[in-house]
Amino acid sequence: MKDRILFWIHADLIHFGIAEKLQEKSDMDLYAIYDFNNHLTKSFKNQKLVNFKKEWYFWEHLSGINKNIDIEYLKKFEEKFGINLWEIAYTERAFGKDNPFYKFKREEILSIFEQECKFFEKVLSEVKPNFLIIETTDLHRNHLLAEICRSSGVKILMLSANRLGFKSSISSQSDKIDYDLDEKRESVIEMNSFKDLREYLEKYSKSQNIKEIDSGGMSISQVKKIKQSIRWMTKTFDEDYKKDYVHYGITRTNAIIKYLSILLKGRYRKYFIDKNFVRQITYDEKFLFFPLQIQPERNVDIGAPFYSNQIEVITNIAKALPVNFKLYVKEHPKMYLRHWREISDYKKIMDLPNVVLIHPTINSKTLLDTCSIVITIAGTIGFDAAIYQKPCIVFTDTIYSSLPSVYRLKSLEDLPQAIRSSLKKEVNLSDVNKFINLLDRNSFDYDESDMLVRICSSFFYDGFLFDTKISIPKMELFLKKNDKIYEKLAIEHIKKIKEFKQSE
Domains belonging to the chain, first-starting first, are: 4-182+444-503 (3.40.50), 279-440 (3.40.50.2000)
* Average pLDDT of the residues in 356-361: 98
Residue type, 450: D
Phi and psi torsions of 181, nearest 5°: -105, -5
- Contact 50/73 with Cβ under 8 angstroms? no
C-alpha dist (Å) from residue 400 to 258, 378, 394, 432? 40, 10, 10, 10
For the entire predicted model, the pTM comes to 0.94
pLDDT by residue (tens digit) across 146-202? 999 999 999 999 999 988 888 999 999 999 999 999 887 777 888 899 999 898 888
**pLDDT tier, 206 (very low <50, low <70, confident <90, very high otherwise):** low
Count of Cβ atoms closer than 10 Å to residue 235 Cβ: 14
Mean pLDDT (the chain, rounded): 92
What is the rounded distance in angstroms from the CA atom of residue 72 to the CA atom of residue 77? 8
The sign one gets for the Cα dihedral 222, 224, 229, 230 is positive
Contacts of 422-429 spanning 24+ positions with Cβ under 8 A: 422/373, 422/391, 422/392, 422/393, 423/322, 423/372, 423/373, 423/391, 425/391, 426/389, 426/391, 427/385, 427/386, 427/389, 427/390, 427/391, 427/403, 428/404, 429/191, 429/193, 429/194, 429/197
Q: Residue 122 above 90 pLDDT?
A: yes
The residue length of the chain stands at: 504
pLDDT tens figures, 261-305: 999 999 999 999 999 999 998 888 999 999 999 999 999 999 999
Residue 394 φ then ψ, to 5°: -120, 160
Give the single-character DSSP code of 292: P
For residue 100, what pLDDT band results from cuts at 50, 70 and 90? very high
Would you say the C-alpha torsion 304, 305, 307, 308 has a positive or negative sign?
positive
Separation CA 395–CA 216 (nearest Å): 28
Cis peptide bond N-terminal to 296, omega within 30: yes
The per-residue b/e assignment along 364-386, b for 16 or more CB within 10 angstroms, e otherwise, is beebbebbebbbbbbbbbbbbbb
* pLDDT tens-digit map of 63-80: 989 889 999 999 999 999
